[in-house]
Amino acid sequence: MKIALCDAGLKNADIEREIYGRFGFELEVRICRTAEDVIAFGREADALCICQHPANARVISELKRCRILARYGAGLDTVDIAAATRAGIVVTNVPHAAVHEVSEHAISLLLACIRRIVNHDRRIRSGEWGIYEKEPVYRIHGKTLGVIGLGAIARKLVAKLRGFELRVLACDPFVKPEVARVLNVELVSLDQLLSESDYVTIHAPLNDQTRHLINAQTIERMKSQAILVNCSRGALVDTAALADALRKRRIAAAGVDVHETEPPPRNYALYELDNVIVSDHAAWYSEDSVAQIQREAAEGVVAVLTGKRPANLVNPEVYEVLAGKQVGSNRTGGPSTSPTML
C-alpha cells in the first residue's frame, strides 16, 4: 500500500511512519504547491493525506487507486466531499485536535483587543507613556459575547470565558434549544447577535451560505465599541468591508487569525490599521495538536486500508459500500458538516 502525504509544513512524519510501519505500508512525503502537484503525487496512491492543498473534483477524478482521502485538520472546505463520495473514496478528518488551541487563541486575540495590549507594547517601545488616556478601555465583566457557530470550539471558548460573567448569545441553526439551555447560552438570530454583542467571535465553516457572512451590511448592525474575532476561515469576513469599518472606527477593533488570501499581500489593508491584531493562521497550532492530528489521521488511513471503520468518517455511505453493507445501515455518526463542526 502506498500512502501519499502532501507536506503541510510538518517537522517530520515520524509518527505516521511508525504507525504505517506496523502494517508494512509505504509512506511518501512531498511538497505540493498546486493541484497539478497533488494529482501527480497522488494519482497512484492508495491513500492521499492533505492539509492546505485542494482536493477538488478535478484532483479527485485523477486518483486511480485512492481509497481514503485524509484531511489533516477539522475544516473540509478544501475537499469536494460529493466528488469523493461519487468516486467511492472515504473522507476522514480530525475534528477535535485543536479545540483547546483555537478557543484559547480566540480568547487571546479578544483580550488583547479589549485591553489594547499590542498598542501599549508598540507605543511604549517608541518612547510614549500613559497611552491609556488616549485609547479608552472598558470593563469586560458583564458584557455580551456573541458566538457565531456553537460547535466544539465555541463551546470550549464559552466555558473558558465563564469567569468573566458574560451574557452569551449564539447563532447556530443546527443547535437545539435544550442544548443551548444546558450551556447557559441564548440562541438568537444573527441580526440580534450582532446588534446586542460587545464581542463577536466566529466559529463556523466556510460554504456557499457563510461566505462573507460578515460584510458591510452586517457590520452596520454592530455596536461602535464592538470587537470582532475570526479564527475560523478568512472568507467568512469581507476583508475590504472590515478594513473600511475599522478605519472609520465603525467598530472598535478586530482580532484576525485567518485571511481571505494566505499569506496576505504586502499591501494588505489590515496591516495599515492600529485597531486590528493579526496572526498567521496559527490558532490551531501547538506541539500537542500537531501530534494528535498526525496520529489520528494515520490511524484513520490504517483503518480504511485494513477494512475497518475509521473514527472520524465524513461520508459514511462510502464506507458502508466498501464494507459490503447496505448503504445507510448500522451507521455510528461521522462528524457533522454543519456550523457545529467547528
Q: Just list the catalytic residues.
A: 233, 262, 281
Which residue, among 5, 149, 2, has the nearest Cα to 71 in the 3D structure? 5
Give the whole-angstrom CA distance, residue 27 versus residue 47: 10
Residues 6+ positions from 123 with CB-CB distance below 8 Å: 131
Pairing, β 68-71 against β 47-50: parallel
Residues 6+ positions from 250 with CB-CB distance below 8 Å: 219, 220, 222, 224, 244
3-state DSSP percent of the chain in helix, strand and coil, to 5:
40, 15, 45
HSE-CB at 10 with a 13 A cutoff on CA atoms is 27
